[in-house]
Structures are given as structure tokens and as C-alpha cells.
Structure 1
Amino acid sequence: MENRAFRAPKVPEVFWTFWVIKLLTTGIGETGADFMGTHSIPVAGIVGVGGFFAAMWWQLRADTYHSVRYWVTVLMVAVFGTMIADGPHVALGTPYWFDAIVYFVLLCALLAWWQRSEGTLSVHSIVTARRERFYWGTVLLTFGLGTALGDAAAINAGLGFAWSILLFGVAILVPLGLWRLGAPVIACFWGSYALTRPLGASVADYLASPPAHGGLGWGTGPVTAAGLALFAVLVGYVALTHSDEEGAHERAHHQEADHEADPEPEVPALD
């Protein structure tokens, strides 16, 4: 298969907007899939499966990074990832904790294959078509794993959505703390990345589920619509400002430093 090379990484720079938008996609994927599945299975199939393959085709055929294209693809992976995580539970009756173990094993196997093939798992190295395919396969498995983990905590373990939010809210800080203590940055990144899914999905389920099920009862439709509105605003912002492109914040930092080191000359006063 062709292994095209790109001029720059086809992924966004990891900054605060990256994590906020990523969390939004997890919540939208959770309630969006539930909303469509409840109201129309054919629509859910068309949007979830068809949208996923269409978005992946759009993303993989391009040679450069573009905010809208990238984040729309992540969003469709979120919807499709919810479906593939819920599928074994619905069709085979397997408990969510078992599905989580299966996805974890698959994720570890794919990461090992990626590392052996390319020598790095860094998102800053997504500069060839082969590495990008590894990247999106990993992203998809993290969504499946995260969905199963969230449901296992809330349902199998009986924690409910509120306690699951607390659990995964604390858990997602652990890789950050380990990174501060000197742990490998790549391992910490993928650990946090996988945990965004159960955290975002738990928040969305808490907002959407009826009070009898431990939620606020807003409904999957309104929660999905609100998430999509915020998603559109943030993606529009990074698309217009180009602030999520690789090296954007480093360039801004250097420009600020240069400005402070070389201020504008004072204009002498006229007598």
C-alpha cells in the first residue's frame, strides 16, 4: 500500500483546545449514538457507519492537516466507536468489563505493532500515510475501550454516572502527574487520550439520563445538540486562527519573546 509522505504532521498540536474538543466529541458520540439508536436504527447505521467511512476517506486522502476535516473525523470515530463498543454487549450479552479487557488487549497489540513498524508512537511523527493509518486505528480502539470502561464503571460496578465522572476525572490527572515526575510523555499522552472517552461519556450520560437512572434528565437529543453547538464554535475558532496547527504556540512564544527583546524605538518629543 502506498506510503505517502506529508510536509507536516496531519494531527493538531496538543494544547488546551485539543483536550476540550476531544472531550466534547466523546460526549457527542455517546448521546448521539444513543439518540439515533433509540429513534431510528437505519439512520444510526447510515450516520454512524456511513459517516465514519466517509470521514476516514476524506481525512486519509488529504496530504495536509485541516482542523475541520480532522475534528469531523474524530467526531465520526466517536459515534462509530460507541456502536462497536455497545455491539458485543447487545448482540452477545458480554459484560462491559469483559469488552473493556478485549479492547485493551487489541489496543496494546496495535501499539506494539506500530512501535515495531515505525519506531515511535509520537503524534508529532504522523508524517506518512502508514503512520496515519496506525494513528486512526489506535484512536478507534481508544474510543471502544473508553466506552466499555465507562459503562463498566457506571453499570457493572454500580457507581452510576456521577461517581464515574469523579473516578475518571481523577484518573485522567494521573498521567499528567506521572509526566511531571518524568514518565515517558508518549505513554502519558495515550493514557490521557484513552481516558477522555469514559470521562466525556459519563458527563454526557449524567446530563441526558433521567433522574431515575441517576442523571439530570435533559435527554440525549438536547445534550447532543448542545455538544454539537460547542463543537462547531471551538472547531471554527481553531480553523480561523490556525492555533491548533503544529508549532503554532511555539511560533507565538518566539514572536512574543522577540517583541519583548526588541521593543519599538521611542519617538523623540518635538520641542
Structure 2
Amino acid sequence: MTGTTTRERMPATGRTLLNKVPEVTLWFWIIKILCTTVGESFADWINMTLGVGLEMTSVIFTAVLAVVLLWQMRLTRYRPVAYWLTVVLVSITGTLYTDVLTDDLQVPLALSTSVFAATLAAVFGIWYARERTLSIHSIATVPREAFYWLAVLVTFALGTAAGDWTLELTGWAPGISVLLPLGLIAAVVIGWRAGANAVLSFWLAYILTRPLGANLGDWLAMPSTDHGLGLGTALTSVIFLAAILATVVYLSVTRSDVIEENRQSDPPTVTADPRRERLMLAYLGAVTVAAGLLLTWAAAQPHAAPAGEEESGAPASQELSPQQATAHFPAAEVARFRTIAQDTLNKLGSGDQEGARGRVTDLESAWDDDQSTLQPMDDTAWTFLDGRIDAVLKTVRANSPDRAAEEQALTALLTSLG
């Protein structure tokens, strides 16, 4: 699935470079999916590890992305290390932006998905109006590369929002939800092979790899009680980052994904069949309608809350009594969690919101530090309490805190801790 082969008139503006992106081969799609999986798992792990909240984590990674993107933009040709490091950081940052909107600002996923889709359409519209092509085989000027990275960032945010919205609508477990984007990508590939527009096919597949990779990451990281494989976000991130590094080293040595020619100075000739493209456009439209009908049907079926989590923060799979939730855990550790939760509630009662936020960071750190010890003792109880703690973190760290919701979440946690 490659970019357009349409002959084009090149603009007079913009510094001329060798093509700054890799050739679209099987390796491209493999490493792209690896990057999207890392974007989901690593963003979650870093957010929990730093303990500074989604907004500050997003600011930190935006700054890191800006530095790496500047490095990538200053290069005069495609370099695998710089390019794929930028993709990984764009994936993480795009995920964090969507999470901030959803978790901190309480923006509905349907709205964020619609806004990101409209934003992407606007980026493509302006890009095409100025450059007369959206082909990645012509990323050979600074303006085109800027449009390219902006589009990539929006596709990651859009894919994250659309994937999460799908889970919200359907209640599918991550392992099952992998099948929808995988099937849609297969349908796009079939359309491309049958004559669909290459540029349209590329960007559709590019967007769909985001929910595919995110759902794959969730499936690997989630505990078995939530129908995952239980690897955890840290181990999942390490595995996929290692796979990305190995692939980048291979591509750097073999140069098998380098577009040698400067497509700007020597554009290829049109080979597309306009009639077949129109026919395949109708086919892709039918696939979109079919996917919409499937989601509508799935949303109408009885199902649990997505990602194994009710609104209260407890797992949808099982509600536990305080005795069941703490029976297998050391009493001293349970008492420590209860003390921190009570301190947080007391600070809220005295109007000290910042103090409460600092104290829930202590709770998060203590809980994460004990995960490797507690979870093997009773995975069901650990998952249950993890949901309660997630609800506390979400409400106390909200951009516009709701005192009643904060107190409700903390009271539920204290009750579960006995």
C-alpha cells in the first residue's frame, strides 16, 4: 500500500530534500503496529510511574516530542532511528492528549472522535490545497513534512479516541476488539489490491493501525480477570520497545525501506484507473456502513462496562466484600493503604485539594510498588481494589474536581479496605 503515483507540479517554495519517510513495505506496517502498541502501554506506564497526572505527563512528552521532531525535521534524508523515534513519541503523545480529554476534562469519546476526525479532514484539505498531493512518496520539502507529521499526530489521537469509543459502545474485551480494526485493515488491503486509490488506502490503514495496536497492548497488559494476558504495562512496553529497536537496527543496516530517488524532481507517471477507483470508493463506503451497523448492533446488546471497569471504578466482573477484598493481603499493607486514603479524605474535608492530590500520588506509588507482591496472592481481589483506586485517582486529579464524586470514590475504597 503506497502513496499516489500521480504526476504533479512541484511548488517553488520549500527547501528540497531527499524523501524523509520510509518506503511502505511489510516492515513499515510491522513497526507501525509495534509503535502504536507502545503508545498505549508506555503512556499508561509512564503516567502511573511519574505520578504527576495526565496533564503534566502530556506536557513533558510534548516537550520531548518537540526536541526529537526538530531533529527529524533538520535531517536532509530519511534516517530510521530519528523517524521511528518520532513515530513512537507521536504515538505516546497522541494517546496522552486523548486521555486528558477523556479522563481529566470528561469530554465524551463520541465528541473527541468527531473533533479529531474533522481536524484530520481539515489537515488533509489544507495539505492538498497547498501541495496538490497527499502522497508520502513526495515528502521532500519542509512544508510537506510539517503537514505529514501533523497528520500523523492527529491520526494517533483519532485512532485512540475511536478505539476507546468502540470499547465503550460494545463492551468488548481487548482480545475480541482487536478483530474489528484487523478486519477493516484487511478490507482496505483488498480494496487497494482491486484498484482503490493508493493514498486513500494508505491513510485509512494508517488510522486503523492505531486502535489495532492499542487494543493489542491492552490485551497483553490487562490481568486475566479482565480477559487479558496479564503481562502488565511495563513488561508489554519493554517487549515492544525491544522489538522496535531490533527492527530499526535491521532497517538501518539493510536500508531496505529507503526511497532512494527524489520523487520531487522525478515524479512518476499516472497508472491508476479512475473508473476502478470510483468502484472501489463505493466498496470502501459499503465497508464503512457495514462496520457502523455492526457497532450499532453490538452497542444494543447487554454488556459490561468497557475495559473491565464500572463507573464506580470496580471491575464489572465481580463485586467483593471487604473481607473478600483483603483476606489474602498482609494486614500491615492494607492498613497503610487505608491510612493514605483516610488522609486524602481528611484533606478534602478541610478544603485542601492540592494536599489531597499529593496524598493520592502516595497511594498510587504505594499500590504500584506492591503490585508484584500482592497480585499473585489474589489476582481477583487485587483487580477489584485496583479499580477502586483508579476511581479515586481519576476523581481527585480531575481538572474540575467534583467534591461529592471524590468523597464517594474514597469512601468506596475505605469500605473495601475494611
Smaller-chain TM-score range? 0.7 to 0.9
Deviation per CA, 1:128-150: give whole Å up to 9, x if none: 00000000000000000111111
1:150 to 154, 163, 170: 163
Which has the higher mean CA deviation after the structures are superposed, 57-66 or 130-139? 57-66
Change (3 A) 1:132 1:207: same
TM-score normalized with structure 2 length: 0.57
Deviation per CA, 1:38-71: give whole Å up to 9, x if none: 1214484465222211111111111111111100
Quick check: 1:67–1:238 contact (8 Å CA) kept in 2?
yes
Unaligned runs of 5+ in 2: 1-12, 262-418
Q: 2: CA distance between counterparts of 1:173 and 1:114?
A: 27
Of structures 1 and 2, the larger Rg is shown by: 2
List structure 1 runs of 4+ shifted beyond 4 angstroms: none
Amino acid in structure 2 at the alignment position of 1:36? I
- Name the counterpart of 1:167: 180
- Name the counterpart of 2:235: 222
Quick check: 1:33–1:48 contact (8 Å CA) kept in 2?
no
Amino acid in structure 2 at the alignment position of 1:138? A
Amino acid in structure 1 at the alignment position of 2:16? A
Q: 2: CA distance between counterparts of 1:173 and 1:87?
A: 31
Q: 2: CA distance between counterparts of 1:57 and 1:148?
A: 27
Q: 2: CA distance between counterparts of 1:29 and 1:116?
A: 31
Which has the higher mean CA deviation after the structures are superposed, 132-141 or 158-167? 158-167
Aligned partner of residue 231 in structure 2, secondary structure = coil
Amino acid in structure 1 at the alignment position of 2:43? A
Amino acid in structure 2 at the alignment position of 1:32? F
- Name the counterpart of 2:249: 236
Change (3 A) 1:176 1:70: same
Q: 1: CA distance between counterparts of 2:231 and 2:108?
A: 27
CA RMSD of aligned residues (A): 1.6
Change (3 A) 1:96 1:212: farther
Q: 2: CA distance between counterparts of 1:98 and 1:163?
A: 24
Amino acid in structure 2 at the alignment position of 1:62? L
- Name the counterpart of 2:14: 3
Quick check: 1:147–1:198 contact (8 Å CA) kept in 2?
yes
- In the TM superposition, 1:124-135 aligns within 5 A as 124-135=137-148
TM-score normalized with structure 1 length: 0.87
Unaligned runs of 5+ in 1: 249-271
Q: 2: CA distance between counterparts of 1:18 and 1:147?
A: 20
Change (3 A) 1:47 1:28: farther
1:156 shift after superposition = 3.5
Q: 1: CA distance between counterparts of 2:29 and 2:232?
A: 24
Within the alignment, does 1:19 sit opposite 2:29 as a pair? yes
Quick check: 1:211–1:217 contact (8 Å CA) kept in 2?
yes
Deviation per CA, 1:125-182: give whole Å up to 9, x if none: 1010000000000000000011111111123431221221011110111211111221
Quick check: 2:71–2:82 contact (8 Å CA) kept in 1?
yes
Larger relative contact order (Cα-Cα within 8 Å, sequence gap ≥ 6):
1
1:191 to 204, 209, 212: 204
1:108 to 121, 136, 152: 121
Change (3 A) 1:227 1:47: farther
1:213 shift after superposition = 2.4
Amino acid in structure 1 at the alignment position of 2:131? E
- Name the counterpart of 1:85: 98
